Structure formats: structure tokens, C-alpha cells
Amino acid sequence: MKNQLIVKILNNIADILELQEVPFKPIAYRRAAQSIESLSEDIADVYERGELEEISGVGRNIAEKIAEIIETGKLKYYERLKREIKIDVEGLNNIPNLGPKKIKALYNILRVKNVEDLEKALREQKVRRLPGFGEKTELLLLQGIEALQKRPSRFLYLHAIPIVEMVKKNLARYDFVKRVEVAGSYRRGKETVGDLDFLVVSSQPAMVMDVFTKMKDVTEVLAKGGTKSSIRLSNGMQVDLRVVQENEFGSALLYFIGSKEHNIELRKIALKKGLTLSEYGLFSLKTKKKIAGKSQEEVYQKLGLRFIEPELRENKGEIYAARQGKLPTLVTAKDIKGVFHNHTTWSDGHNSHLEMAQKAEELGFKFMSFNDHFGHVGITNQLTEKRLGKYLQEIEKVQKKVGIRVFNGVEIDILKDGSLPLSASKLSKLDVVIASVHVALTMKEKEMTKRVCHALNKYPINILGHPFDRILQEREAIALNLDKVFETAQKHNIFLEANSSPKRMDLPGESIKAGLEAGCKFALSTDAHHLSHLPYYFLGVNMARRGWLEQKHLLNCWSLGKIEKALQK
Ligand code: DGT
Ligand code: CA
Ligand code: CA
Ligand code: ZN
């Protein structure tokens, strides 16, 4: 959907033209932008119908420009203006409370060309002296720049949860709100979300718009129209909301859950059947009659497909599987009988073995495994051969005090040369051996792959821990040839980890799917360092579902007897 992009470009053009003191034109561009802002449908659809010029304020000239943006995602005229003006209007316009008049004054008097210049001028307290600015504006602009710099481009799934709950709660308490559902990447269980997308059924859209844009935590209203609005919250998260009719709720959900790639495929299938699919419903091309739209199930059915779970909707083979009746029966949180990879005060965790095990029992698990760090100097309080005996005794004691099976084990470092700091014979006596890369992360792909595969080939390992070793928003994944790693793990019956730690989410769903296709099996872990981390195992379930996993592929779903057998080394 390019409406927002087009609005932004048209407004930026207006600003540039105003800075260049071109008469009248800025007003025309702004008027067009305003109409598009309040458009209740995708402008691409208007364009396809050849009706751009029917939008109020859009004449031949602007219509051509809009068409160019829809077709190419860019506008040559705009690019040229940007080059001419030498002022980064786009960047400056992102700062709240800064409009074209102020940008002009800043340039004319202080030669401010971009956000960097502005920040410098603000810090040197030069801005307050400009006519129409003052100390208060200076502070506001500085705060705006700081907020922009802090704003992450994507959010951890875990951090999106309270926002989703907050929006739902704020809306659901009104009688005129019949239904609220979250869609988008969040609904597909993606590891991170760009923004949140909500759908609401209501016969009073204007009231919904008011309530939504006036929620307590809203710092900026990005757009407010008759049936859709976008806001920004204090943490920088953008939330889009759209009101639809009950009889189009299914097709609207389908559209806004996405992914875009999945939607495009569905539209193609519709066309082949002489139908057309949009967020408003599934229609006959010939008679224009509506065929489905109330529920997602109905739309899929009319397209000749089984219902596809949102986590699978990435156009990665799910549509073919749905047509063949071969969709996987995805694992659910209820199927998880226990979790691997938990840390305690014996290494860098915050709780004792007993506290962790009791919490696991309280959560309804049937087993858990302890895998405190063993290895390399550098990890806080790591286990050593000398401490290992006492550590194992402690776990044995805890086993007698709780009603769940407690597996012992370690998370051992894969050293630079692919060796592990404990012998194979000693490792084979432990219940669960997880091997992970924690140090020397910058190796080239070939070397790193050799290192990991060497460990998998030579040692009795049960689980390859967090294979990417990435920290979301902080550290990129290590360079690995996944095909080779998957092949080696599969050969030795080594499980690949689905690590549920919110900042790891490792392997992510799409790589789990690749591993599955290579014949690998998986183990879900919490990587908990505190008992409050244990409930986050559901994040791993999201990943497993996005990776097409069924119970038979995920060790955590098996019976204890089968798990013990699978862990034998
Ligand atoms: P995000 O927010 O980056 O994590 O990812 P999404 O998938 O939530 O993407 P978003 O918020 O831009 O749009 C929400 C859904 O709306 C998306 O999953 C599918 C639908 N959608 C958005 N733009 C288009 C489009 O241009 N064409 C089609 N067919 N669907 C779109
Ligand atoms: Ca989204
Ligand atoms: Ca969105
Ligand atoms: Zn680790």
C-alpha cells in the first residue's frame, strides 16, 4: 500500500517548492496529499481503475506523478528537486514540530542543511535566537531528534505484546467496537515487527478514530481519516488501525495479516478462477457479485484451498500445500512438555536449580534441562571440570524434590578450532549436551562452518545451541554455511535449537524450515537466566510454527521415554 509514501513525497515536494519560493504549486501538492491521506482504499486500486484524476485536488500533472510512484516506487521529479535544493527536507521533516517555514529560517540564517547541522546548532544554543523560535522550541526540537535517533527500526516481538494488549483494551471497552483483531507480521508470529496493524469492526468509524488517536500513550498522529488512522507511541512504535464492515472482516483480515507475498499469490489464484480478491472481498469478475468476505475460511475455501495458519503465510510453499491438502499440523504451546537450556547461579543465571525446577513444574512442564555454561574463560562464573561433580550432585538433589524429570547437562563452548573444552567421554555421561559458539565471532564463513561442523562431527552433542548466535538489534548472525551445518547435524542426530530468548529467536522460522527440509529435528529452549524467563517458551513455539514444525519434529513434544532414548550418546 503506497498511500502513505505518496502523501509523504507530495508533502515534501510542497515543502521544497515553498523553500524555492515557487508560487501556488506548494498549495496544489498539499491539497492532493490531503485527499490521498483520507482515501479509504489503496491508491493503487484507484490507479488501476484509471480514476486518479477523480481524487479531489489531483489534476493531470499530479496524477502522472502518482502513477510513476505506484509503478516504480520512486519519482524522478522529486529526486531532481532534492538534488537541487541541497537541504535534506526528507530528514528534517521527520522531526516533530519542524515545518517548512522553520526549515527555511534555519537555512537562511544558520545554513542548516540536515539533521546533523540542526543538532549542532541546537546544542550550541543558536536556534533560540532566531525569530519565532525561542528556548522552548529549541528544547522540543532537540527532544525530537533524540527520539528519532533512539527509535529502533523494528521491535522485538516480546516488546510488542503489551502494546497489542493496551490497544485492544482501550478499544474493546466501547459498545460501538464490535471486534478488535491484530493483523500484520505480529499475527504471523514474526521474530520482530515493523509496526502493528489493527482491524476493528464498528458501525461508528469516526468514534473509533477519535478513541484511537487520543489514547494516552500517543505522541504523534501520523494520519487520521474516516476509517483509518496511524499513530506513533512514546516508544516509537507505529500503530495502524482500520475500521471495516462485518461482512468484509474476513477478507480484510486476510489482506492485513499478509504477508504481501502471500496476498499476491492468492490474488493470482483468484484471477485464474475468474474472481478478484481485495480487502473488501472475493468478487466475480464478470457479474461483480460478492462471493466471500465474511470469514477467512470462506475466502480460502472459495479459492480451493484449506485454511492456512497465519504463521505459514509467507509464500514459501504453503499455498501449494493447502491445495494438495498437505499442510502441516503445527505444534502448539500445549504440546510442549518441557524446555531445554536453562542457566542457574552455577554459571550466569539468577536463580537456583530448585527455584527454576519448581517454576517449571508450576508452568505444567514434565521436564526441564539445566545447561550452565561450561568453558571458555570470559563467560561469568563458568563451570569447570573441578566444579562439575558438585554441580551434578546438586541437580540430583533437586530431582528428588520436584515432580518433574530434571535433566543435567552443560552448554559448552565450541572453541575457535572446533574443539570443546571437555572430553568426549566425559560429555557422553551428561544427559543433555548443548554446544554453542560464544567467542571468536568474526570468522569468515568457511572457517566458521568448518569449526562448527568439526565439533558436530567429533563430540557427543545433543543440541546445537543458538546456531546464528545473533542478538537482535545488537549483533548480526555469525557467518555459517547453513546447508553444511544442517547436513552434519542431521548425520549425527543432533537437534537444532529453537532458542526462545526474546533477543535471540534463533533459529528463526525460515531457517527452521530450511533445516526441516534438510531432514533435521529440533529442540526448543528457553535459555532462561531467571525464572521469569521460563514462560517465554511460547516465542520458540511461534518460530517452530513459522518453520512448519509438527510434533514429530520437535523433541519437546515427545514422551519422556522417547526423549531419553533420543538423547543417548
Ligand atoms: P512489518 O510491519 O514490516 O513487520 O510487516 P507487515 O507484514 O506487518 O507489513 P505492513 O505493516 O506493511 O502491512 C500489513 C499487511 O498489509 C501486510 O502483511 C500485507 C498487507 N499489505 C501491505 N501492503 C501491501 C501491498 O502493497 N500489497 C498487498 N497485496 N498487501 C499489502
Ligand atoms: Ca505491520
Ligand atoms: Ca502497517
Ligand atoms: Zn549460549
Rounded Cα–Cα distance for residues 389 and 171 (Å): 56
Tell me whether the omega of the peptide bond preceding residue 507 falls within 30 degrees of 0, making it cis. yes
pLDDT, residue 340, reads 98
Nearest to 366 by CA among 93, 566, 563, 187: 563
Cβ of 535 less than 6 Å from ligand 1: no
The SS3 call for residue 457 is helix
Residues 310, 263, single domain; the answer is: yes
Measuring from atom 1 of ligand 1, which residue has the nearest CA?
A: 194
Residues 160, 145, single domain; the answer is: no
Neighbours of 389 (CB within 10 A): 9
Q: Residue 213's domain is classified under what CATH number?
A: 3.30.460.10
Nearest to 249 by CA among 178, 159, 162: 178
Cβ of 193 less than 6 Å from ligand 1: yes
Contact between 81 and 14 under an 8 Å Cβ cutoff? The reply is: no
Nearest to 253 by CA among 305, 198, 307, 208: 198
Q: Residue 51's domain is classified under what CATH number?
A: 1.10.150.110
Neighbours of 274 (CB within 10 A): 10
Cβ of 195 less than 6 Å from ligand 1: yes
Strand partners, 369: 407
pLDDT, residue 346, reads 96
The percent helix, strand, coil of the chain (3-state, each to 5) is 50, 15, 35
Rounded Cα–Cα distance for residues 512 and 249 (Å): 32
| 3-class DSSP string for 115-129 | HHHHHHHHHCCCHHH
Residues 277, 382, single domain; the answer is: no
Task: Count the domains in the chain.
Answer: 4
Pocket test for ligand 1, best of 196, 251, 256 (most atoms within 8 A of CB): 256
The SS3 call for residue 212 is helix
DSSP-assigned letter for residue 24: S
Measured at the CA of 231, the angle between CA 226 and CA 236, to 5 degrees, comes to 170
Ligand 2 centre to CA of 297 (Å) is 22
Residues 183, 275, single domain; the answer is: no
Instruction: Choose one of 269, 292, 324: the last residue of a domain.
Output: 324
Nearest to 556 by CA among 456, 462, 429, 452: 462
> Which amino acid makes up residue 169?
K
DSSP-assigned letter for residue 377: B
pLDDT, residue 378, reads 67
Rounded Cα–Cα distance for residues 189 and 192 (Å): 8
Residues 225, 267, single domain; the answer is: no
Instruction: Choose one of 118, 134, 150: the last residue of a domain.
Output: 150
Residues 13, 141, single domain; the answer is: yes
Rounded Cα–Cα distance for residues 128 and 22 (Å): 28
Rounded Cα–Cα distance for residues 416 and 248 (Å): 57
CA quadruple 448, 450, 453, 454: dihedral positive or negative?
Answer: negative
Residues 10, 125, single domain; the answer is: yes
Cβ of 191 less than 6 Å from ligand 1: no
**Ligand 1 atom at shortest distance from the alpha carbon of 185:** 8
Measuring from atom 15 of ligand 1, which residue has the nearest CA?
A: 256
Contact between 520 and 487 under an 8 Å Cβ cutoff? The reply is: no
Cβ of 157 less than 6 Å from ligand 1: no
pLDDT, residue 474, reads 79
Measuring from atom 9 of ligand 1, which residue has the nearest CA?
A: 184
Ligand 3 centre to CA of 549 (Å) is 28
Rounded Cα–Cα distance for residues 82 and 77 (Å): 9
pLDDT tens by residue, the chain, 569 residues: 577 789 989 999 999 999 898 999 999 999 999 889 777 777 988 999 999 999 999 999 999 999 999 999 889 999 999 999 889 998 998 888 888 889 999 999 999 999 999 999 999 999 999 998 999 999 999 988 987 887 667 999 998 998 999 999 999 999 999 999 999 999 999 999 999 999 999 999 999 999 999 998 898 899 999 999 999 998 789 999 999 999 999 999 999 999 999 999 999 999 999 999 999 999 999 999 999 999 999 999 999 999 999 999 999 999 999 999 999 999 999 999 999 999 999 999 999 999 999 999 999 999 999 999 998 766 778 999 999 999 999 999 999 999 999 999 999 999 999 999 999 999 999 999 999 999 899 899 999 999 999 999 999 999 999 999 999 987 889 999 999 999 999 999 999 999 999 999 999 999 999 999 999 999 999 999 999 999 999 999 999 999 999 999 999 999 999 999 999 98
CA quadruple 12, 18, 19, 22: dihedral positive or negative?
Answer: positive
- Supply the DSSP string of 398-422, one letter for each residue: HHHHSSSEEE-EEEEE--TTS--SS
pLDDT, residue 217, reads 86
Q: Residue 261's domain is classified under what CATH number?
A: 3.30.210.10
Strand partners, 281: 278
What is the Cα gyration radius of the chain? 28
Ligand 2 centre to CA of 305 (Å) is 25
Rounded Cα–Cα distance for residues 5 and 27 (Å): 18
Nearest to 492 by CA among 456, 523, 525, 524: 456
Ligand nearest to the CA of 279: 1
> Which amino acid makes up residue 456?
L
Contact between 380 and 426 under an 8 Å Cβ cutoff? The reply is: no
pLDDT, residue 59, reads 95
107-129 exposure pattern, b = at least 16 Cβ within 10 A, e = fewer: beebebbebebbbebbeeebbee
Residues 138, 160, single domain; the answer is: no
Per the structure, the complete domain to which residue 379 belongs is given by 333-567
Cβ of 156 less than 6 Å from ligand 1: no
pLDDT, residue 42, reads 78
Residues 457, 527, single domain; the answer is: yes
Residues 279, 386, single domain; the answer is: no
Residues 553, 443, single domain; the answer is: yes
Strand partners, 60: none
pTM over cut 0.75: yes
Rounded Cα–Cα distance for residues 198 and 256 (Å): 8
**Ligand 1 atom at shortest distance from the alpha carbon of 258:** 18
Cβ of 1 less than 6 Å from ligand 1: yes
Instruction: Choose one of 104, 121, 150: the last residue of a domain.
Output: 150
Cβ of 197 less than 6 Å from ligand 1: yes
Q: Residue 473's domain is classified under what CATH number?
A: 3.20.20.140
**Ligand 1 atom at shortest distance from the alpha carbon of 44:** 26
DSSP-assigned letter for residue 528: E
Contact between 508 and 543 under an 8 Å Cβ cutoff? The reply is: yes
Q: Residues with Cβ within 5 Å of ion ligand 4?
A: 436
Cβ of 315 less than 6 Å from ligand 1: no
160-187 exposure pattern, b = at least 16 Cβ within 10 A, e = fewer: beebbeebbebbeeeebbeebbbbbbbb
Residues 365, 512, single domain; the answer is: yes
**Ligand 1 atom at shortest distance from the alpha carbon of 262:** 29
